Amino acid sequence: MLISLTVGKVDAGVAVLLTEDKRLIEFPSILLPPSITSGSIVDITVSRNQSSETASQKAFASLQSSILSTYGLSSPKAPVLRCRNATQTSVVLEWDKIDLATAELRSLSLYRNGAKAGVIPQDKGIQATKVSGLAVDTEYTFHLILRTSAGQYSSEKLVVKTHKMTDLSGITVTPGVLPAPLRESLSGAIERIGAKIAENVRIDTTHFVCTEGRGREWEKAGEMNIPIVRPEWVEGCEREGRIVGVRGYYLNADPRLRQVGQGVGIQQQQQQQLPRPQQRERMESQRTIPVQQQQQQQQQQQEQQAPPTPSEPSSTNLPPPSPSPRPSSNGSDKGPPPPLPEKDTPSKQEHPSDEEDEASSEQLGHSPVTSPTQEMTNDLGVLGFSEVAL
């Protein structure tokens, strides 16, 4: 298609062309011949290039497909957090390799009970961390937050509870230089307490056991600040039934620093020998019996042990008994004393004055006066004697 256009104005970069119906077209001046000036007429042939158009469309579609496959089909994934090992005061957490897809990593942070515990460096490809200084027998909640150029992703919350002092399943021992018999006995002791053995020093290794401080694993344990103890430490844990301190079990430690207890078996026997709550209450109640009840019990025992009193002689010449006998030495009243024999009792004819005195005393409302002999008889009669020799 041939078109004739009139050059109206030529600038440095753009030329204004006029059509026959007076329309303006901006045309790149670089495409015009160099001798063109205002008022020149140029003929331009216009045609469609089908081959070039088809190639351009194919290139554009390929570019869109590559962008979709690279950035549109995959995205960063949230980390999956899990617990590898837990002890009385520490927890070892691990996760799979972080999948960032095409995004860039900003940070990976660990949170404990909703508070930020620290940032985990990713330049070395770390996939585990150890959290120490925890409380014994306590629950903690952990989760990871991944920040990328494509957004923020959080892991599921993980609840971990630290062990009790008597739970030895969290101990992971790495043996070092040991004699063969000692290594076998160590393996048996570790199996009995429910602990684990790791041949190499790892992040979850809790103790390094050896008798000589040498070797690559020994050096690695020192670099990771893992306690290096003797095999007697495992025996102490087995004997006590709980985790014991490592201060007295270091390679160069004084054995006198070891706090050796009575053992679990002896402690259980002592607990079984202790009285039960009901027995304790009964013992306490027996201790708090009033003194009066004890005196009454003693008095009853004395009455049972005392010999029986002989029957009273039938005599009408005896003086009437005193209505208020004197109490015995132990504070108890046992009735009137036994009467005197007939041979020691004075008759009415021999002592008429006594009979008159008794009658006068009865009229005045007083008890008859007893002689010293009768008083002695009353005291001995209370004590269980039936006769008195004068």
Mean pLDDT, to the nearest integer, of 348-369? 42
From 224, 244, 267, give the residue that closes a domain. 267
Q: 77: which 2 tokens?
A: 């994934």
The pair of structure tokens assigned to 167 is 């739970």
Query: 246 and 185 in one domain?
Result: yes
Percent helix, percent strand, percent coil in the chain, to nearest 5: 30, 20, 45
Q: Is residue 53 part of a domain?
A: no
User: How many structural domains are present in the chain?
Assistant: 4
Tell me: pLDDT of 389 over 80: no
**CATH number for the domain that contains residue 13:** 2.40.50
pLDDT of residue 316: 41
Q: What pLDDT is stored for residue 261 in this prediction?
A: 56
pLDDT in tens, 81-122: 999 999 999 999 999 999 998 889 999 999 999 999 999 987
Q: Answer yes or no: do 186 and 262 share one domain.
A: yes
Identify whether 272 is part of a domain. Answer: no
pLDDT band at 31 (very low <50, low <70, confident <90, very high): confident
- Domain boundary among the residues 161, 187, 213 is at 161
Residue, of 344 and 223, whose pLDDT is higher: 223
Domain shared by 150 and 85, yes or no: yes
**In CATH, what number is assigned to the domain containing residue 138?**
2.60.40.10
Q: What is the mean pLDDT of residues 279-307?
A: 62
**Judgement on whether residues 185 and 255 belong to the same structural domain of the protein:** yes
One domain, residues 257 and 230 = yes
Q: How confident is the model at residue 283 (pLDDT cuts 50, 70, 90)?
A: low
Domain identity same for 39 and 122: no
Per-residue pLDDT for 369 more than 50? Answer: no
Average pLDDT rounded to a whole number, residues 260-270: 49
Identify residue 332 by its one-letter amino acid code. Answer: S
Q: How far is CA 121 from CA 4, 18, 107, 110, 308, in A?
A: 70, 68, 8, 11, 102
Is the residue at 258 inside a domain? yes
- Using only C-alpha atoms, the chain has a radius of gyration, in whole angstroms, of 57
The answer on 262 and 232 residing in a single domain is: yes
Q: Is residue 364 part of a domain?
A: yes
Same domain assignment for residues 177 and 244: yes
Is residue 52 in some structural domain?
no
Distance CA 318, CA 340 (A): 8
Residues 386, 336: one domain?
yes
CATH code for position 225? 3.40.50.10190
Percent of the residues in the chain that have a pLDDT greater than 70, as a whole number: 67
Residue 285 lies in a domain: no
User: Pick the residue with more confidence: 352 or 31?
Assistant: 31
Q: Are residues 13 and 86 in the same domain?
A: no
- Say if 119 falls within a structural domain: yes
Torsional sign, CA 357, 362, 366, 367: positive
Q: At what angle do helices 232-240 and 180-193 cross, to 10 degrees?
A: 30
Is residue 190 located within the same domain as residue 147? Answer: no
On whether residue 208 sits in a domain, the answer given is yes
E strands in the chain: 2-10, 14-18, 24-28, 41-45, 81-86, 91-95, 105-112, 115-119, 128-131, 139-148, 151-154, 158-161, 172-175, 196-197, 207-209, 228-229
| Same domain, residue pair 149 and 195 | no
CA angle 210, 211, 216 (to 5 degrees): 50
pLDDT (average), residues 155-174: 95
Residue 87's domain comprises 81-161
Instruction: Select from 252, 267, 282 the last residue of a domain.
Output: 267
Kindly state the average pLDDT of the residues 303-311: 56
pLDDT for the residue 301: 72
Whole-number pLDDT of residue 115: 95
Split at pLDDT 50, 70, 90, the class of 286 is low
Of residues 311 and 196, more confidently modeled: 196
For the cut 80, the answer to whether the pLDDT of residue 276 exceeds it is no
